[in-house]
């Protein structure tokens, strides 16, 4: 199955971001890109530090990059690395801003041959029994509770009741 133009652009953005990774300690460059509900794409790369606990993964950099621009809903995530797999912390952060339909593209990019192997799955499948702030009661009923609004929108899409914005 050939990816759509927008998914191809998402993958290309993540591949490009990987080139900017600051990883002198692990020598494991990772690039990520997210597609938001508004159709915008945000990139991130891993950034390491001599104090290892202060490093930040590419996935979270991309998500936090979008959040700073009030882009909170994620439609798709792409991670590029040699054997690309998000860590547990990144999976939880992705879950926070995703719906059940949020796609996850794992791109295994061989550093020698530059060949790509793309695997498509869903964010919610990568973290079974995720800590859900809605079901835990942590998120109060509030107009800024965008996660709840996205979950409602996601349910409407599944049933075909979503209205188009004009």
- The residues facing 158 across adjacent strands are none
Provide the 3-class DSSP secondary structure of residue 82: coil
Q: Name the band, by pLDDT with cuts 50, 70 and 90, for residue 36.
A: very high
Q: Name the band, by pLDDT with cuts 50, 70 and 90, for residue 54.
A: very high
Q: Which domains does the chain have, with CATH numbers?
A: 5-130 (3.40.140.10)
Does 114 or 163 have the greater pLDDT score?
A: 114
Q: In this predicted model, what pLDDT tens digit does every residue of 82-130 receive, in sequence order? A: 999 999 999 999 998 998 899 999 999 887 887 899 999 999 999 887 8
pLDDT score recorded for residue 156: 55
Exactly one of 37, 48, 59, 96 is catalytic; name it.
59
96: annotated active-site residue: no
Does 161 or 24 have the greater pLDDT score?
A: 24
């Amino acid at each position: 199955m050939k990816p759509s133009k927008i998914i191809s652009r998402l993958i290309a953005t993540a591949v490009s971001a990987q080139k900017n990774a600051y990883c002198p300690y692990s020598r494991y460059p990772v690039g990520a890109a997210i597609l938001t509900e508004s159709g915008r794409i945000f990139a991130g790369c891993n950034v390491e530090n001599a104090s290892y606990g202060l490093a930040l993964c590419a996935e979270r950099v991309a998500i936090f990059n979008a959040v700073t621009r009030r882009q909170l809903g994620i439609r798709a995530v792409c991670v590029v690395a040699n054997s690309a797999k998000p860590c547990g912390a990144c999976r939880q952060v992705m879950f926070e801003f995703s719906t059940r339909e949020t796609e996850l593209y794992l791109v295994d990019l061989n550093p020698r041959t530059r060949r790509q192997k793309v695997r498509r799955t869903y964010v919610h499948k990568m973290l079974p029994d995720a800590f859900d702030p809605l079901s835990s009661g942590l998120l109060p009923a509030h107009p800024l509770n965008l996660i709840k609004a996205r979950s409602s929108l996601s349910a409407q899409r599944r049933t075909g009741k979503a209205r188009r914005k004009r």
